[in-house]
Structure 1
Amino acid sequence: MSEPELVWNVGAELGEGPVWDAARRAVWFVDIKGRKLHRYGVDDGAKTSWDTPDQTGFALPAEDGSLVCGVRGGLHRFDPDSGRFDLIVAVEQDRPQNRLNDGFVAVDGSLWFGSMDDSEDTVSGALYRFHNGEIVRHDDGYRVTNGPAMSPDGRTLYHHDTTTRRIFAFDHSDGVLTKKRLFAETTDGFADGPSVDSEGVLHVGLFNGWGVARFAPNGERIGTIRFPVQTVTKAAFGGDDLRDLYCTTAWLSNADKRGDQPSLGGLFRVRVETPGLPQHRVRL
């Protein structure tokens, strides 16, 4: 495993949601509080940014070449050629205090995502699935959602309540979740965005924990990838062999630390031994 390498010192207030786009050979990620969508070209280091209509928790590739973005108030389709955002479907009109926070695409093209109270005061967040044009709420009662992520065989879905440092696991079959249980807890930081490698190891960004925690499929903590900054928000696998772990960071709640940690809010890359799983595309 290599040392974390800073590839873009973008200075995101709340960098989140790195995702590998194999067709474009690029990594997409967002700055939620900065209301930005960023694209990093892995071959030439090209850096491109767009303004978003509101706080945006994720931007995930779709089958038609667009991205599906979790903008506050609804799912939007983003066209990289025109820079245009178009509403697909409204989300949580009954919970105007909420925003969307993190998402994942399953092998069937369904989009799983979570919501949260923007002020982090109430447990109004929920877990949803968007499939065949329909949104279904699958779980409720979160303060800050992160994830989800899924095991290589698709039988286990992981989802976090970040402020409680708890990672939950569900049995998953054909878009149905059962048997919610506590999978693991983090003691050295808040459990932030997750990804799973090809051996089923869960990689969890640690907000204020200086790295990425690694958990075996049985929930055992098996290691930590240490970072030079304290707020790692999510880790995602990319590159031709899926062994480049791209990680977003943030200076949110740590603005006073930027003098000692000038790369807070940057995009990092770590070379790892075990590849990740292919990035699926949202089926619209």
Structure 2
Amino acid sequence: MALTYSAEPVLCIGATLGEGPIWFDDALWFVDIKQHRVHRFDPASSDHVAWSAPGQVGWVQPLADGGMLAGLQSGLHRFDPESGAFTFLVAHEAHLPGNRLNDSTVDARGRLWFGSMDDAEQAPSGRIYRADAAAVVPVIDGIVITNGPAVTPDGRTLYHCDTLGGVVHACVLEDDGRVAATRPFVQVDVESDGYPDGPVVDAEGYVWVSFFGGWCVRRYAPDGRLDAEVRLPASNVTKIVIGGPDGRTAYATTATKGLSPEKRARQPHAGDIFAFDAQVAGQPTYRIAILPA
């Protein structure tokens, strides 16, 4: 039987669409996509800083040469936390102005993986990309709302969510970054369970999936068995990261997006950041080694 435990709010901000948490430089970084904000929160000191982005920002990731990379609707930008400046680098999907970037990860080789999606959440125009020294390459397409990807510690499996379809997929990942055979890893009933949102993989290779509209985060074994469930007092859970000073604290982003005034009143902590003891270590936060010229 799956374990069940709960989370507590640690930062009350009421984000419209909190997303993309990473643990980097002894702090939690995350974004509010709809408010065009990048956030940094230090749980030890309770210090909280936010920067305004020039558009919808889906994620930030650290760069090996310093600073951070931000995925905006308009494309990839270099982000300097010292000055707050965003410097445009390259556009992606300029032919799809209704798309935006959504969710990302960096694998142990320093390769960036990120997804796009239809901002109206209707057209199957979303793709997942791999960025490395050679190019930015689409590796999966035909999805309305992409979430993930997430890569296992051994680098051999990539997980991603078809959120509207209620499916978490597992893909064989080749050494050269090619995505090979794909199989359904977990299928859920979105009406009863909520929509599978950002997945992450812990140090043991187990997959944590957040559920938008499902009030929870679930941990799945590599064989797809449900191992644990964490309940939150907010329905729209978007993603977690496992880090913190002990390396085992999970932080969850949530959202107020889509909540009626009545539902919002019943969820005073909707959009806040939550923490819980994951009881397992997360993977290191890897820096992006290099981007294509």
TM bucket, shorter chain: over 0.9
Return the alpha-carbon distance in structure 1 between the equivalents of residues 289 and 54 of structure 2.
Answer: 23
> Deviation digits for residues 58-113 of structure 1, max 9, x if unmatched?
11111123111110021111000010001122111121110000000011111000
> Deviation digits for residues 220-263 of structure 1, max 9, x if unmatched?
22221111111110011112332010100001001422211111
Q: For residue 205 of structure 1, report the CA deviation from its aligned partner.
A: 0.6
Q: Contact 1:20–1:26 (CA<8 Å) still a contact in 2? A: yes
Return the alpha-carbon distance in structure 2 between the equivalents of residues 211 and 231 of structure 1.
Answer: 8
Q: Contact 1:235–1:248 (CA<8 Å) still a contact in 2? A: yes
Which residue of structure 1 aligns with residue 195 of structure 2? 190
Q: Contact 1:2–1:272 (CA<8 Å) still a contact in 2? A: no
| Equivalent position to 2:222, from 210, 217, 220 | 217
Q: Contact 2:5–2:230 (CA<8 Å) still a contact in 1? A: no
Structure 2 alignment gaps of length 5 or more: none
Return the alpha-carbon distance in structure 2 between the equivalents of residues 248 and 266 of structure 1.
Answer: 7
Residue type of the alignment partner of 2:270:
L
Q: Contact 2:160–2:170 (CA<8 Å) still a contact in 1? A: yes
| Equivalent position to 2:271, from 257, 265, 282 | 265
Q: SS where residue 279 of structure 1 aligns?
A: coil
Which residue of structure 1 aligns with residue 60 of structure 2? 59
Is 1:20 matched with 2:23? yes
Q: TM-score, normalised by structure 1?
A: 0.96
Return the alpha-carbon distance in structure 2 between the equivalents of residues 51 and 282 of structure 1.
Answer: 22
Q: SS where residue 251 of structure 1 aligns?
A: coil
Return the alpha-carbon distance in structure 1 between the equivalents of residues 86 and 72 of structure 2.
Answer: 10
Which residue of structure 2 aligns with residue 251 of structure 1? 256
Which residue of structure 2 aligns with residue 274 of structure 1? 280
Return the alpha-carbon distance in structure 1 between the equivalents of residues 158 and 233 of structure 2.
Answer: 30
Residue type of the alignment partner of 1:122:
A
Q: SS where residue 266 of structure 2 aligns?
A: coil
Q: For residue 270 of structure 1, report the CA deviation from its aligned partner.
A: 0.7
Q: For residue 25 of structure 1, report the CA deviation from its aligned partner.
A: 1.0
Q: Contact 1:194–1:236 (CA<8 Å) still a contact in 2? A: no
Residue type of the alignment partner of 1:272:
A
Q: SS where residue 17 of structure 1 aligns?
A: strand
Return the alpha-carbon distance in structure 1 between the equivalents of residues 229 and 30 of structure 2.
Answer: 23
Which residue of structure 2 aligns with residue 176 of structure 1? 178
Question: Which moved further from structure 2: 114-123 or 64-73?
Answer: 64-73
Q: Contact 2:5–2:229 (CA<8 Å) still a contact in 1? A: no
> Deviation digits for residues 26-66 of structure 1, max 9, x if unmatched?
11100001111111012201010011111011111111231
Is 1:201 matched with 2:206? yes
Q: State how many pairs are aligned.
A: 282
Q: SS where residue 59 of structure 2 aligns?
A: strand
Q: Contact 1:193–1:234 (CA<8 Å) still a contact in 2? A: yes
Q: For residue 2 of structure 1, report the CA deviation from its aligned partner.
A: 6.4
Q: SS where residue 259 of structure 1 aligns?
A: helix
Summarize the alignment of residues 1-284 of structure 1 with structure 2, pairs less than 5 Å apart: 3-21=6-24, 24-132=25-133, 134-174=135-175, 175-187=177-189, 188-256=193-261, 257-284=263-290
Q: Contact 1:124–1:143 (CA<8 Å) still a contact in 2? A: yes
Return the alpha-carbon distance in structure 1 between the equivalents of residues 123 and 163 of structure 2.
Answer: 13
> Deviation digits for residues 94-150 of structure 1, max 9, x if unmatched?
211100000000111110000000001100000101111620011110000000001
Return the alpha-carbon distance in structure 2 between the equivalents of residues 27 and 282 of structure 1.
Answer: 18
Q: For residue 271 of structure 1, report the CA deviation from its aligned partner.
A: 1.1
Q: CA RMSD in A?
A: 1.3
Q: Contact 1:26–1:42 (CA<8 Å) still a contact in 2? A: yes
Indicate the percent of aligned positions where both proteins have the same amino acid. Answer: 44
Return the alpha-carbon distance in structure 2 between the equivalents of residues 4 and 162 of structure 1.
Answer: 23
Q: SS where residue 163 of structure 1 aligns?
A: coil
